[in-house]
């Protein structure tokens, strides 16, 4: 039996514990200066880096500069109402975002607040916005593709699950479009999407959201947006918030494709924030840690080994260049962080080659190990044909009369393959159709058609083959390869198709 003394001791103990609970430290400080979305605060001696601060009127902030005699914080929201003398409370929480399945199909701000008027979600889980990337032990090498549904990408520059592939190019070269197409192609796959818009016009983001919706891909996608009119700190947070939401799915063993559109504007937002916080400017006035800004974000893309739960995050960061200059500061940083790049060229774009991917300058360090067998087989000769064509085309622009027949044939073939690799927006092509069209084009099937007719014949061929050879198509799709028997059937079918076309 417990003695009376023990009882009293336990009661006192309990009271002390509860007393401690109530006493959860609230650090209070005072705003001594507030301007341009940045506040300098006196007090808050116990605050942590990137801790959430509470300003009057429910406005949130984030502590960033922890100095000896004060704290520099950015204000995440409407900063115009905040003035000198205002009281600031620490919250003890490092910045977090809500995560969960019911965020799919929604448009959110970087703090996870809905912007689409579809109401709150029930999810109560949160993930920290900043997280240390998975280590090498947990990772697995990349060997499964993320199908973009775009022939030029899936055949020439395949992207694997867990890879970081940079999409780089000048203004208006189809960067966003290419990435949105990749998201649209996941509508029936098990890969979930996150699209992060940073510093874009609200109208553009609305267009992208409706494009995803019209093509049936929004239900599998989260859109996180901090628009050009939002404060720089929100733009700064957006990609980390999107990544945290993706990490939730990865922690459940799922695959995610995340698009950061774009990191150039992200770097601008960070530069603005850093200058206002009076951090020392370095090259091009960016703060010294601008490399770390993007490296710690892109490190979080990973393919996790099945022993550690599996799942992956594939990242497509976008960088906008000025007049094709890939050697300036931010582009070189991000090129060195990623596993390859899709280089979009204005000249190609303007001459109607869309997607304007320059296949010679685009690379993937993961290579064809992230390609399905059938595609690997047909893409090999496509790559060499295209490389030869690229080098010959430069000479050929001075006239083709004196060229020998082999060179002429290569030029003819190259011109037709270029046509085959063109693709409209919102029209992803299934894997088996990609394999068959490249197989036929490689073996010279389209050489007899005039170049300007090739795309029309391509469309008709897809319809023809889907209608007439359904078992071959489903075999290629299921087995993921193209065997000799099917090759013969395809060649025969193409001859029949061609005779109906030229009649
Ligand atoms: P910005 O620099 O403004 O972000 P961007 O490089 O992201 O531009 P997009 O907005 O994707 O480029 O595309 C620019 C225009 O090109 C859009 O009007 C789009 O409809 C068109 N476009 C992009 N890809 C294709 C395509 N494959 N076929 C036809 N049109 C395309
Ligand atoms: Mg864009």
> How much is the pLDDT for 12?
75
Smallest CA separation from ligand 1 atom 21, residue: 174
Of 326, 328, 325, 303, nearest to 314 by C-alpha is: 303
**What single string gives the DSSP state of each residue in 371-390?**
S-HHHHHHHHHHHHHHHHHH
Ligand 2 center to 241 CA (angstroms)? 20
**Ligand 1 atom nearest 423 alpha carbon:** 27
Beta strands in 246-389 (DSSP E): 255-261, 312-320, 340-344, 363-364
Ligand 2 center to 262 CA (angstroms)? 7
Query: Does residue 320's CB lie within 6 angstroms of at least one atom of ligand 1?
Result: yes
Q: CATH 3.40.50.300 in the chain, residues?
A: 140-371
Residues of the chain predicted below pLDDT 70: 1-7, 11, 15, 18-25, 502-503
Q: CATH 1.20.150.20 in the chain, residues?
A: 377-502
Query: Does residue 175's CB lie within 6 angstroms of at least one atom of ligand 1?
Result: yes
Query: Does residue 176's CB lie within 6 angstroms of at least one atom of ligand 1?
Result: yes
- Tell me how far CA of residue 429 lies from CA of 137, 144, 162, 385, in angstroms: 36, 18, 22, 22
Q: How far apart are CA 331 and CA 326, in angstroms?
A: 6
- Which of 365, 413, 455, 456 is catalytic? The answer is 365
> How much is the pLDDT for 20?
57
**Ligand 1 atom nearest 422 alpha carbon:** 27
User: Which ligand has the minimum distance to the alpha carbon of residue 321?
Assistant: 1
> How much is the pLDDT for 496?
95
> How much is the pLDDT for 77?
87
**Ligand 1 atom nearest 171 alpha carbon:** 2
User: Which ligand has the minimum distance to the alpha carbon of residue 150?
Assistant: 1
Q: CATH 2.40.30.20 in the chain, residues?
A: 28-95
Q: How far apart are CA 52 and CA 241, in angstroms?
A: 14
Structure tokens at 293: 């800004």
Choosing from 150, 176, 204 the residue with most ligand 1 atoms within 8 A of its CB, the one to mutate for a pocket test is 176
**Ligand 1 atom nearest 355 alpha carbon:** 27
- Terminal C-alpha separation, the chain: 104
Fold that domain 28-95 belongs to in CATH: Elongation Factor Tu (Ef-tu); domain 3 (2.40.30)
Q: How far apart are CA 89 and CA 75, in angstroms?
A: 13
Query: Does residue 264's CB lie within 6 angstroms of at least one atom of ligand 1?
Result: no
> How much is the pLDDT for 2?
45
Smallest CA separation from ligand 1 atom 3, residue: 172
Smallest CA separation from ligand 1 atom 23, residue: 174
Query: Does residue 387's CB lie within 6 angstroms of at least one atom of ligand 1?
Result: no
pLDDT digits (tens, 9 = 90+) for 288-328: 999 999 999 999 999 999 999 999 999 999 999 999 999 99
Beta strands in 164-246 (DSSP E): 166-169, 192-198, 221-226
Whether the Cβ atoms of residue 222 and residue 104 lie closer than 8 Å to each other = yes
Determine whether 365 is an active site residue: yes
pLDDT digits (tens, 9 = 90+) for 337-392: 999 999 999 999 999 999 999 999 999 998 888 899 999 999 998 999 999 998 88
Ligand 1 center to 388 CA (angstroms)? 28
Q: How many other CB atoms are there within 10 angstroms of residue 367's CB atom?
A: 15
Query: Does residue 424's CB lie within 6 angstroms of at least one atom of ligand 1?
Result: yes
- Tell me how far CA of residue 222 lies from CA of 122, 146, 245, 370, in angstroms: 16, 18, 8, 25
User: Which ligand has the minimum distance to the alpha carbon of residue 349?
Assistant: 1
Q: How far apart are CA 91 and CA 44, in angstroms?
A: 11
- CATH architecture type of domain 377-502: Up-down Bundle (1.20)
Q: Please check whether the domain covering 140-371 is classified as CATH 3.10.520.10.
A: no
Smallest CA separation from ligand 1 atom 24, residue: 174
> How much is the pLDDT for 6?
61
pTM value?
A: 0.93
Ligand 2 center to 281 CA (angstroms)? 28
């Amino acid at each position: 039996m417990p003695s009376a003394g023990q009882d009293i001791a336990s009661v006192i103990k309990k009271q002390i514990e509860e007393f401690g609970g109530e006493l959860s430290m609230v650090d209070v400080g005072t705003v001594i200066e507030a301007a341009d979305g940045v506040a300098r605060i006196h007090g808050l001696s116990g605050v942590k880096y990137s801790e959430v601060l509470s300003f009057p009127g429910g406005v949130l902030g984030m502590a960033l500069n922890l100095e000896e005699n004060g704290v520099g914080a950015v204000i995440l929201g409407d900063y115009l109402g905040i003035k000198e003398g205002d009281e600031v409370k620490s919250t003890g929480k490092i910045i977090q975002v809500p995560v969960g399945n019911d965020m799919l199909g929604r448009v959110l701000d970087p703090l996870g607040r809905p912007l689409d008027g579809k109401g709150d979600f029930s999810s109560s889980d949160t993930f920290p916005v900043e997280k240390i990337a998975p280590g090498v032990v947990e990772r697995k090498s990349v060997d499964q593709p993320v199908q973009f549904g775009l022939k030029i990408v899936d055949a020439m520059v395949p992207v694997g699950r867990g890879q970081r592939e940079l999409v780089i190019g000048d203004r208006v070269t189809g960067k966003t479009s290419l990435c949105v197409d990749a998201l649209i192609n996941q509508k029936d796959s098990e890969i979930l999407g996150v699209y992060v818009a940073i510093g874009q016009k609200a109208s553009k983001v609305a267009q992208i959201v409706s494009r995803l919706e019209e093509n049936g891909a929004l239900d599998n996608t989260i859109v996180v947006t901090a628009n050009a009119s939002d404060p720089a700190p929100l733009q700064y947070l957006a990609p980390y918030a999107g990544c945290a939401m993706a990490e939730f799915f990865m922690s459940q063993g799922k695959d995610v494709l995340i698009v950061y559109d774009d990191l150039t504007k992200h770097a601008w937002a960070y530069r603005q924030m850093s200058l206002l916080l009076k951090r020392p400017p370095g090259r091009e006035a960016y703060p010294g840690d601008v490399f770390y800004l993007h490296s710690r974000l892109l490190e979080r893309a990973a393919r996790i080994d099945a022993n550690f739960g599996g799942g992956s995050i594939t990242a497509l960061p976008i960088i906008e260049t000025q007049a094709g200059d890939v050697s300036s500061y931010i582009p070189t940083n991000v090129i060195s962080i990623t596993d390859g790049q899709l280089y979009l060229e204005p000249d190609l774009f303007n001459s109607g080659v869309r997607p304007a991917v320059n296949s010679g300058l685009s690379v993937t360090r993961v290579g064809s190990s992230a390609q399905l067998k059938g595609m690997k087989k047909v893409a090999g000769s496509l790559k060499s044909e295209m490389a030869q064509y690229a080098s010959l085309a430069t000479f050929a622009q001075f006239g083709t009369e004196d060229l020998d027949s082999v060179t002429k044939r290569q030029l003819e073939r190259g011109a037709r393959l270029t046509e085959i690799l063109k693709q409209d927006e919102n029209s992803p092509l299934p894997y088996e159709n990609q394999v068959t069209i490249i197989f036929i084009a490689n073996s010279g099937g389209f050489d007899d058609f005039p170049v300007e007719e090739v795309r029309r014949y391509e469309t008709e061929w897809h319809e023809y083959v889907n209608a007439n050879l359904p078992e071959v198509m489903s075999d290629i799709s299921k087995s993921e390869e193209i065997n000799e028997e099917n090759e013969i059937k395809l060649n025969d079918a193409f001859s029949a198709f061609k005779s109906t076309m030229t009649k």
